[in-house]
Amino acid sequence: MGVQIEVDQLTMRYGDVTAVDGISFTVAPGEFFGLLGPNGAGKTTTLETIEGLRSPTSGRVSVAGRDPARREPDLQRRIGVQLQSSAFFERLTAVEQLQTFGAIYGVPAARLDELLEQVGLTEKATAQVEDLSGGQKQRLSIACALVHDPDVVFLDEPTAALDPQARRNLWDVLRGINDSGRTVVLTTHYMEEAEELCDRVAIVDHGRLLELDTPGALIRKLDAATRIGLAAEAIALEDARGLPGAESVRLDGSGLVIQTREPATVLAELGRREALEGLSVSKGTLEDVFLDLTGREYRA
Amino acid sequence: MSTETEPETGTSTAAPDRSGSSTGAGDARAARPLKALTLAMFKGFVRDRMTLFWAIAFPLMFLVLFGGIFTDQGQSRPADVIVVGDVSVIDDAPTQAREAIDRAIAITREDDLDAALAKVRDGDATAVVTEEGGEVTVRYSAADAVAGAQIQGVMQAIVQQANTAVYQQATGEPPAFTFTASQVEDESLQAIQYVTPSLLGWAVAMSATFGAAANLVMWRKSGLLRRLRLAPVRTSSVVLARVGVSLVIALVQAVIFIGLGVGAFGLQLSGWWPLVVPLLLAGTLAFLSIGMLAGAVSKTEEGAIGLANFIVLPMAFLSGSFFPLDGAPAWLRAVSNALPLKHLNQGMLDVMVREQGPSAIVLPIVILLGFAAVFATISARLFRWEA
Ligand SMILES: Nc1ncnc2c1ncn2[C@@H]1O[C@H](COP(=O)(O)OP(=O)(O)OP(=O)(O)O)[C@@H](O)[C@H]1O
Ligand SMILES: [Mg+2]
């Protein structure tokens, strides 16, 4: 059921802009795969080339062993896509959008209610698409991608406009799809989302693949310091600097932040001094990995 | 529409069908997307009040306007005229002349001149007529100069006739001129006979062109065309869906136009009128492909609509949709012959009101299909999936 995806030395140029620059990776059948990168990194371009919407300048892409750019209906029926900007039939209701996409893909209109419920749009079933909110449109767009029960799903920033509830509900939906053996490829700017969902993530920037591994492995590789946060009055700045194992200490608006690679030592010492007011501890996250790899500068 | 090769759907190598998906043959699969797309397009059309207005109400306004102008004149009641005091040219007219007068004007009596004039000023009557020592005076309101001029003409005729009668009595010779009031119904019938087929041709051309142009640009701009490109739907299905919707719209326009023409304006159809159906089909195809071209070269919907207007409106004038070109200079009629709408109008007139049979639609249909083929080819060349 799951579909294997191979990307080999993929390069895409628009005039003198190189949007994708020799990217190679393989997505295994049934894998949950994430594409991360700053704005303009080339995620959408990569994804749309895999979907068959663009033909690569050079390099090769295959989905289930076939060339997606040929847009063979048999392959298209196995692929579900949610494009970065949603597109609907004008003045059709939510349920009519699903019916229409369903009919185009040749599936009966049986599961539509269930699908609408999954994306939380049951109440909006008969609302015309022009009357939906941004997040509701995005959820409908995802439902349209799933209407024909595809073997592989491509989602371009599916949770970009969603509220926290909708985002977590969608995570459940996507996990469910993936658990049944389907391949899922998504792009996102939410690192905790990638950490939560993805088996492996690819981090791209300037069209190049920077890292490709499981989120856990990437975080370990970064060997990021643990951040210990305290209330400003918990311990004097000078005393904190003198703590064994403390690498750096700074005072900011939210309090005191101690960076350390020996959190056990620092915490034990803080405990001994009963200076644990407002304690928070955070380990390195995928976001640290991301910022470490792609820098802190704005992207064009 | 697309210049790329479209792989066939439903080829025999398909992977085993998964649960719930269709087990239908290739043909059934091809038919379903077409039906769904047609339905979606049609719903989008009828739910938009503006497009409905432009396709149905706007051309109908013209029909009512043209049909109404001529028909109303013929059927209008005689104008109300107030006679104050004795007016001998009316009072003493012989019976025959009096009947003619009564057909032309409806006379009421009033004793007070000021009261009568007030009624005219208020629009309750058209004119006041008085006679003072053999001089007949007609007073009417400048607010309705047309009706006033009519009354003036009628009264002039009445006075003329009275003079003639006096002359006749004096000389014993028969009158050289007599006054009769006649209705203009025959002329108005001719007008509606001409206007219905030609306005219908324009209406169909307009909505086919606008529909295709706006639809194409809208779907491209919204990204729906890209999305559909990833779905197992053939480009030809998208085009055919548009053809289907435009055909339905054309037929609805025909039903409303002919119904209103016959029902309200006394349009008399020739026996061959059902031949408008194949004509409308060919006309729709021709103007759809013109609309596709407008849609292919335009970036915005406003641009596409503007371009469609720029093409169709002058063409309507030059094709005699609003008035006949019989009196137009030869070069204008030559230009007119190069326009598809001219041939659509011609065919419609021939089969709807000129009692011509199937042979009359052959040439128009061939010409319209020729236009369709040429413009469809050009628009396929210029077609873009993405904005
Ligand atoms: N059709 C196009 N024509 C020209 N340049 C393009 C086109 N599409 C993308 N680009 C350029 O290619 C680069 C990569 O764009 P892409 O949309 O793939 O980025 P992305 O990683 O998806 O960004 P985002 O996170 O903002 O969605 C950008 O510099 C963009 O300007
Ligand atoms: Mg993108």
Bridge partner residues of A201 (DSSP):
A34, A213
For the CA of A45, the nearest ligand:
1
Please give the share of chain B, as a percent, with pLDDT higher than 90.
45
Distance A20 CA to ligand 1 centre (A): 9
- Structure confidence at residue B2 (pLDDT): 42
The pLDDT score that the predictor gives to residue B18 is 40
The residue whose CA is least distant from atom 26 of ligand 1 is: A39
Which atom in ligand 1 lies closest to the alpha carbon of residue A15? 4
Residues of chain B found within 8 Å of residue A71, distances taken between Cβ atoms:
7, 229-230
What does chain A come to in residues? 300
- Pocket around ligand 1 at a 6 A CB cut-off: A 14, 17, 19, 37, 39-45, 84
Distance CA B252, CA B259 (A): 10
Work out the average pLDDT over A179-187: 95
Helix, strand, coil % in chain A, rounded to nearest 5: 35, 25, 35
A62 DSSP β-pair partners: A6
Domains with residue ranges and CATH for chain A: 5-219 (3.40.50.300), 225-283 (3.30.70)
Q: Tell whether pTM > 0.80.
A: no
Which of ligand 1's atoms lies nearest the C-alpha of A157?
27
Q: Closest Cα of chain A to B29: distance in Å?
A: 6
Contact B224, A87 (CB under 8 A): yes
| Dihedral, CA of residue B377, residue B381, residue B385 and residue B387, to nearest 10 | -120
For the stretch A140-159, pLDDT in tens is 999 999 999 999 999 999 99
In this structure, which residue's CA is closest to atom 12 in ligand 1?
A19
Nearest 10 degrees: Cα torsion B246, B247, B248, B250: 90
Give A16-47 pLDDT, tens digit per residue. 999 999 999 999 999 999 999 999 999 999 99
Burial class of B98 by CB neighbour count within 10 A (0 to 12, 13 to 18, 19+): middle
Query: Topology of B75-183 in CATH?
Result: D-Maltodextrin-Binding Protein; domain 2 (3.40.190)
ipTM: 0.86
Chain centre distance of CA B221: 32
The residue ranges of every structural domain in chain B are 75-183, 192-382
Q: State how beta strands A183-187 and A226-230 pair.
A: unpaired
Average pLDDT, chain B: 83
Query: Which of A43, A84, A204, A294 has most ligand 1 atoms within 8 Å of CB, for mutation?
Result: A43
The token pair at B223 is: 């990204």
Mean pLDDT rounded to a whole number for chain A: 92
> Locate tokens 């050009």: which residue?
B378
CA of B92 to the centre of ligand 1 (A): 95
For residue B118, with 0-12 CB atoms within 10 Å meaning exposed, 13-18 middle and 19 or more buried, which class applies? Answer: middle
Partners of A44 on chain B (C-beta within 8 Å) are: none
- Judge: A104–B231 Cβ closer than 8 Å, yes or no: yes
Any chain A CB within 8 A of the CB of B43?
Answer: yes
Nearest to A121 by CA among A93, A83, A150: A93
